[in-house]
A and B are shown apart, each in its own frame.
Chain A
Amino acid sequence: MITLLEARHIDKRFGGLKALSDVSLTIGKGEIYGLIGPNGAGKTTLFNVLSGAYAPDGGEFVFNGAALPSAKPHLVVAQGIARTFQNIRLFRELTALENVMAGHHIRTKASVFGILVQNKRTREEERLTTERAYELLKYVGIERFATVTAKSLSYGDQRRLEIARALATEPRLLALDEPAAGMNATETAQLKLLIEQIRRDGITVLLIEHDVKLVMGLCDRVAVLDFGCKIAEGIPSVVQTDEAVINAYLGGGCRYEH
């Protein structure tokens, strides 16, 4: 397994609350890696630290052999990590197409000057961005809503648009925060196909999910967080029978021991 992302002893505190303590994990290139755990276990916090929304209080992420910049979200995106949000956070007033194009921002370089004089390079870049955004909308299956504002899309389509916007940043690692939340069975099945397709296209996937069936059917390996500690890691069928994991879901404290 070639390592793509390594979390090294990540700590994060909010006041007296230890949201993450000494979390280490390794994600291989091409994996679909699940992150599960009860509500409040620290899964989204880990996403937020990874994506640079928060600085960690200790530890670091190593991505593709280099340490990730901490608390500089746009530089993390530039390194090739994109994410979606548990509670959808699209640019609601922008159209679906514009949302995806905004995601492509980091991969384009038209200067302010170029934009003002509209030189050939800028126009060409803009054309390619538009084309690429249409392709991505098609990829997630919502190209017919390209010119509709994000806020008027259905819930399931908003989730798809979030994925398209994240893919527009051309990531090597796509971090999905509960992508199936609120989806019905049909939508979840389609989402599973989409995630498998994304992996086939060479993108590693990190997945937070509560839908156990989806996680078990999709992930190569999973890690389980509880009260900010990693309590288990391994292939889904084994982790599922782990005593600490069962206790965590049924209640009980942090079982992590150094």
Chain B
Amino acid sequence: MEIFLQQLVNGLVVGSVYALVALGYTMVYGILGLINFAHGDLVMVGAMVALQTMLFLMGAAPGMSPLTMLTLSLAVAIPVCMMLGYTMERLAYRRLRNAPRLAPLITAIGMSFLLQTIAMILWGRNYHTFPQLVSTAPLQPVAGVFVTPIQVTIVVGSALIMAALIVLVTKTRLGRAMRATAENHRVAALMGVDTNLIIALTFVIGAALAAVAGVMYASNYGIAHYGMGFMPGLKAFTAAVLGGIGNLGGAMLGGIVLGLVESFGAGYIEHMTFGLLNSSYQDIFAFIILGLVLIFRPTGLLGERVSDRA
């Protein structure tokens, strides 16, 4: 039972991060029908820029409180990722908006390599220690379950951000324009919506979420690396497909479910395989799920809209 609850907590934490990243995939897919494979690398850029800012602040203002430092590093990492998201859309994807769907997809993969390579040149190929400014020391165990402050921060922070995003999309002028553009960008333009701006903003919002997710991810594991965006990116993509790509609620649900499956999988895989596989094989669960979803429910858990897009 304790193992169960502990894995539940771990799953929620990882799942929250997947959900944040999955939202970026799903928003861009919803509005353009494009799978932006470079989105995962924005997670890495967010973490790396935050790391660089922290290292700078530690040198420049050694007495700074961890909370201020974290806030400042987010305040740098988020705008950098937003600008990068905008640049990607403006320079690469906008030109391909009316091209066959394979062209932007391949461009996205190229963009992913480009970002990784630039990061490798800037920060080298080594793993960097990421300062864990929010404590990772467990709090007083409740019912035998250990929870750390960083885990609480990640879950609560993601939940707040996701709630804000839902309000933004469903209740505001901008969200309405996004939904109108997602449904038919030609008609939205003919009805007075500046669709280029709305599409750019969608990329920018997704990039901001990725930056936050990157800092959360790196803070949780204490490591940052130029290739660190690949795996969470791929899994967040899986989460978006699992939830029903193009559907915001689906991305959130898919992220959480995937996090839980992975966490329970890692916890019980040794028992299930009689010791043949251990928890380092946890990544296979995400891809087993991706396979199963694509075979049995290609529209995902909450997805209906995909069918009328295809």
A residues apposed to B, CB below 8 Å = 51-53, 73-74, 77-78, 82-83, 85, 89, 91-94, 98, 101-103, 105-108, 110, 112, 115-116, 122, 125-126, 129, 165-166, 169
Contact = CB atoms under 8 A, between A and B. Distances in A.
A52 B187 CA distance: 11
A125 B176 CA distance: 14
Interface stretch (B51-59, B193-201, B289-297): B193-201
A83 B187 CA distance: 10
Contacts of A125: 173
A51 B190 contact: yes
A115 B168 contact: yes
Interface of B: 168, 172-174, 176-177, 179-180, 183-184, 186-195, 201, 305
A82 B188 CA distance: 12
Contacts of A89: 184, 187
B174 A74 contact: no
B190 A102 contact: no
Given A92-B183, A94-B180, A115-B168, A169 B173 contact: no
A107 B192 CA distance: 9
A126 B173 contact: yes
B192 A169 contact: yes
A110 B171 CA distance: 13
B173 A108 contact: yes
B192 to A, nearest CB: 3
Contacts of A94: 176, 179-180, 183
A97 B186 CA distance: 20
B305 A103 contact: no
B190 to A, nearest CB: 5
Contacts of B191: 77, 82, 102-103, 105-106, 165-166, 169
A91 B189 contact: no
Given A74-B194, A91-B187, A129 B173 contact: yes
Contacts of A112: 174, 201
Most chain B beta-carbon contacts within 10 A, residue among A85, A102, A112, A166: A102
> Which of A92, A93, A107 lies at the interface centre, i.e. has the most chain B CB atoms within 10 A of its CB?
A93
A91 B182 CA distance: 9
6 contacts: A74-B193, A94-B176, A101-B176, A103-B191, A110-B172, A165-B191
A53 B176 contact: no
A122 B176 CA distance: 14
A92 B195 CA distance: 18
Contacts of B177: 102, 105
A246 B183 CA distance: 41
Contacts of B192: 73-74, 77-78, 82, 103, 105-107, 169
Q: A interface, by DSSP: helix, strand, loop or mixed?
A: helix
Given A85-B187, A115-B168, A125-B173, A106 B193 contact: yes
A169 B180 CA distance: 14
A105 to B, nearest CB: 5
Given A102-B177, A166-B191, 11 more contacts: A53-B186, A73-B192, A74-B192, A82-B192, A85-B187, A91-B180, A94-B179, A101-B173, A103-B191, A103-B192, A122-B172
Given A110-B173, A112-B201, A115-B173, A91 B184 contact: yes
A108 B172 CA distance: 11
Nearest to B193: A105
A98 B180 CA distance: 9
Give the top 8 A-B pairs by smallest Cβ distance, nearest first.
Answer: A106-B192, A77-B192, A73-B189, A102-B180, A89-B187, A73-B190, A91-B183, A74-B194
Contact of A74 (B172, B183, B189, B305): B189
Contacts of B195: 74
Contact of B190 (A52, A92, A126): A52
Nearest to B201: A112
Given A53-B186, A74-B193, A77-B192, A91 B179 contact: yes
Given A85-B187, A91-B180, A94-B179, A102 B193 contact: yes
Contacts of B189: 52, 73-74
B194 A98 contact: no
Nearest to B308: A92
Contacts of A98: 176, 179
Given A93-B179, A102-B180, A83 B173 contact: no
B205 to A, nearest CB: 9
Nearest to B196: A74
Nearest to B177: A105
Contacts of B179: 91, 93-94, 98, 102
B9 to A, nearest CB: 31
A84 to B, nearest CB: 10
